[in-house]
Structure 1
Amino acid sequence: PLMEAILDAGVPYISGPQWLAEQVLRGRWVLAVAGTHGKTTTASMLAWILEHAGRDPGFLIGGAPGNFSRSARLGGGETFVIEADEYDTAFFDKRSKFVHYRPRTALLNNLEFDHADIFPDLAAIETQFHHLVRTVPRSGRIVVNATQASLDRVLARGLWSACDRFGADDGWNVADVAELPECSEFSVVRAGQILGRCRLPMAGAHSRLNAVAAIAAAAHAGVDPAQAIDSLARFAGVRRRLETRGTVAGVVVIDDFAHHPTAIATTVDGLRARLTPGQRVLAVLEPRSNTMKLGAMKAQLPGSLAAADKVFCYTGGVGWDVSAALAPLGAKLRVESELDALVAAIVAESRSGDRVLVMSNGGFGGIHQKLLDALARRAGASA
């Protein structure tokens, strides 16, 4: 009703991204972090690197960065880090939000099909990324994931700025990895030259690539890579990214925002890399995103969850046959349509040393606390 009244009255209106570009980003050195996965974590890393370097950056991040008390601030410095989303701008502007931001540094982390509710296919999303690339000035820089054929196609359509590649031997990369229980240690390499040894308090190959991408983007803004590497040892992560919510009787309940098959797989793999023999991953999934509810990626889910020891899936609000889609997982799969029944099944299966990995892009009906409470009741009853 409000929008109809505005249209009837002929009152001027503007989209949020356009307002942001005109009122906040104009005149700033914008560092935009785009990609299907890793935007929040990589943008948080980049903001922290700039903060640690004394640049007092502004930022707008679609999550809760652990090194800051808020998700957005204006900042007093020249730089502004923004999580650049490919979702459409508004009902009257179907371009991706990020085309409004005019970055001087554009970090393209990865690109897969997502948002099936607005994009018909991957090619349509590649077109939007091409539009983003066109907005980067000649004096700017594209920092691009070299492992993504989709991004190769985007840049093949036109590139008018300098380009740094990460994840490739001829660009920025990771070497000599040691996955430790509390962190990842690795060398940061550029064109074969070791720039330093990074100690990152996060697990998984995807986290290491995110870090290298942030270091490369910060270098374009003038931060010495050695200083950026040093800052990441104090990176506090992001809420809902392998975030421990509690431990009861040796069972650890972990929360993660993963909701795309690739993110699910990298999250499970990253967690498993930190476990010792005998410890299990109990994956708990809520297919809640619009793309998941449409079933556009259901065929990819069994492979994404294959590394988990047990898989529990909640079917509330899902319009496709979850049991059939996940049948390749066999006996390790449990499907429930009621949340309390799901909690009971997880608690009955869990034992000391297990990691219960809850993955959803929503609140999942408060399942984390429900699990912790049920585990506590079980522990009390057996005491």
Structure 2
Amino acid sequence: MNNPKNIYLIGICGTAMASLAGMLRESGYVVSGSDSDVYPPMSDFLDQLGIQVFKGYNAENLKKAAPDLVVVGNALSRGNVEVEYVLDSSMRYASMAETVKEFFIRGKNSIVIAGTHGKTTTTAMLAWILDVAGRKPSFLVGGIAENFGRNFQVSGGPDFVIEGDEYDTAFFDKGPKFLHYLPRIVLLKNIEFDHADIYADLEAIKTAFRRLINIVPRSGLIVAGVDSPVVRELIPAAFSRVATAGIGVGEWQARNVAPTADGMSFEVTQADSMIGSFTIPMAGTFNVQNALGAIIVAKELGIENHVIQTALTTFKSVKRRLELRGDVNGVRVYDDFAHHPTAVLETLRAVRERFPKQRIWAVFEPRSQTCRRRVFEQAFIDSFEPADSTLIARVYGASKLDPEQTLSPDRVAEGIRKRGKAAEAFATTGDIVDYLASRVQPGDHVVIMSNGGFDNIHNKLLDRLRGGKA
């Protein structure tokens, strides 16, 4: 990229873009940028790094910054005044994914964590294992890795661990981001239909992952989660080495999986040879799948079992992954990022495995581009099965969607009731808080799921339970 020194990011307050800004700043570049929404905590984070942020988009911002390179966030499109100025002025520009590749990944051992579910947790887990092993990894992950207190690290070690997103790259590059990441090791966890706003169907998703599989070098490795039927279908096309993995299936297996007081225990075998016994401080079989993939990559890199177990024991997960937000008078309130039917089911199943006799309330906001659509209605009806009672909020931004294609919380609630479980749909967050506050009892677990802020419902409920008015 001709060694630019002054870099400007359009859409700098997005999670990935802000992380890239931090990585560039810590690497010695002059960094600035703009966004339509500039507010804490992202604005505080950027300010602490000495990064100038312009509030709102204006061509004058670029004139003042005079950058050598402009990074365009994937939320930006033609018509944005800064995008138009960049094009009119023939300024050098690139996507976030391309910039990460050229500035940070090239020359490293790139480890890409890909799939529909579990990417963020597995990326953070593997980065922590490598850190405990003394490999000083660089990483970029889509959530706050609690062990590091941030979602990126630029370090001098040989590895770069990155969450490989299949979402499109930029308005000028509609391919998935993960194709930019020069993968040498791919941990391909699972594949399902998602991102209904940009992928027409499952076949379109498959095409994206086929392209990822096809760019892993022959000397590289794909750890293939063969619990997933689609992964099993696609993986024979690989040119690289392949390690199949799963719960009781594949070359590498997790066996004798069992819940413990603090998480899960399991054994790992390779071709029926015992590799070792491991424990993780997190509930859920899906977290065993996450750990299995990370263990296989760690063994590929020559890391000993006792180092892996030390890292797993001390792993603190990622914010918003069954994060306990509070316990008031025996009522535990959790926050989780789940927004796909499979993720909802696995999250609730994890709570049920740990607390088989206690009451579970599922509180869900349909917010992502996929789950707001009617295509997943029946799947959501099925996914709330582990909960005793389900409360569904209004569809976020429903006024901007085609009513015929929009998920109906009322239909989902009715479907759940037909299965013999309690379920209600609500018009406002306040109504949900009122309903819960008058009904929860000591020993109950309230699992709140959304990929957004959900109108601060977690704090409102906790305040009410403490005796406040919320």
TM > 0.5 between the two? yes
Segment drifting more, 4-13 vs 48-57: 4-13
Q: Find the counterpart in structure 2 of residue 302 from structure 1.
A: 381
Where does structure 2 lack aligned partners over 5 or more consecutive residues?
1-80, 399-405
Residue 40 (structure 1) aligned with residue 120 (structure 2)? yes
Q: Find the counterpart in structure 2 of residue 178 from structure 1.
A: 258
Counterpart CA distance in 2 for 1:229 and 1:250 is 32
> Which of 388, 392, 408 lines up with 1:321 in the alignment?
408
Q: Find the counterpart in structure 1 of residue 290 from structure 2.
A: 210
What is the CA deviation profile of residues 17-75 of structure 1, one whole-angstrom value per residue up to 9, with x for unaligned ones?
A: 01111111000001000010000011111101111111000000100112112110111
Q: CA deviation at 1:321?
A: 2.3
Counterpart CA distance in 2 for 1:214 and 1:131 is 23
**Residues 19-58 of structure 1 correspond to what in structure 2 (within 5 A)?**
19-58=99-138
Identity fraction in percent: 41
One-letter amino acid of the structure 2 residue matched with residue 245 of structure 1 = R
Residue 367 (structure 1) aligned with residue 446 (structure 2)? no
Q: Find the counterpart in structure 2 of residue 284 from structure 1.
A: 363
Residue 231 (structure 1) aligned with residue 231 (structure 2)? no
Residue 311 (structure 1) aligned with residue 409 (structure 2)? no
One-letter amino acid of the structure 1 residue matched with residue 435 of structure 2 = A
Query: Is the contact made by 2:245 and 2:253 (CA closer than 8 Å) also made in structure 1?
Result: yes
Corresponding residue SS for 1:207: helix
> Which of 195, 210, 219 lines up with 1:115 in the alignment?
195
Counterpart CA distance in 2 for 1:362 and 1:192 is 43
Q: Find the counterpart in structure 2 of residue 254 from structure 1.
A: 334
What is the CA deviation profile of residues 111-141 of structure 1, one whole-angstrom value per residue up to 9, with x for unaligned ones?
A: 0000000000111111111111122111100
Q: CA deviation at 1:169?
A: 4.0
Corresponding residue SS for 2:467: helix
Closer, same or farther in 2 for the Cα pair 1:111/1:235, shift >3 Å? same
Segment drifting more, 3-12 vs 250-259: 3-12
Corresponding residue SS for 2:339: coil
Q: CA deviation at 1:341?
A: 0.8
Q: Find the counterpart in structure 1 of residue 226 from structure 2.
A: 146
Segment drifting more, 52-61 vs 232-241: 232-241
**How many pairs does the alignment contain?**
377
Residue 273 (structure 1) aligned with residue 353 (structure 2)? yes
Segment drifting more, 309-318 vs 244-253: 309-318
One-letter amino acid of the structure 2 residue matched with residue 367 of structure 1 = I
Corresponding residue SS for 1:264: helix
Higher relative contact order (CA 8 A, sep 6+): 1
Counterpart CA distance in 2 for 1:87 and 1:154 is 19
Q: Find the counterpart in structure 1 of residue 73 from structure 2.
A: none
Q: Find the counterpart in structure 2 of residue 159 from structure 1.
A: 238
Q: CA deviation at 1:146?
A: 1.1
Segment drifting more, 161-170 vs 74-83: 161-170
Q: Find the counterpart in structure 2 of residue 376 from structure 1.
A: 466
Closer, same or farther in 2 for the Cα pair 1:216/1:302, shift >3 Å? same
Query: Is the contact made by 1:216 and 1:225 (CA closer than 8 Å) also made in structure 2?
Result: no
**RMSD of equivalent CA atoms:** 1.5
What is the CA deviation profile of residues 229-279 of structure 1, one whole-angstrom value per residue up to 9, with x for unaligned ones?
A: 3421111111111110001111010010000000000000001111152x1
Closer, same or farther in 2 for the Cα pair 1:320/1:261, shift >3 Å? closer
Q: Find the counterpart in structure 2 of residue 96 from structure 1.
A: 176
Counterpart CA distance in 2 for 1:79 and 1:337 is 48
Corresponding residue SS for 2:370: helix
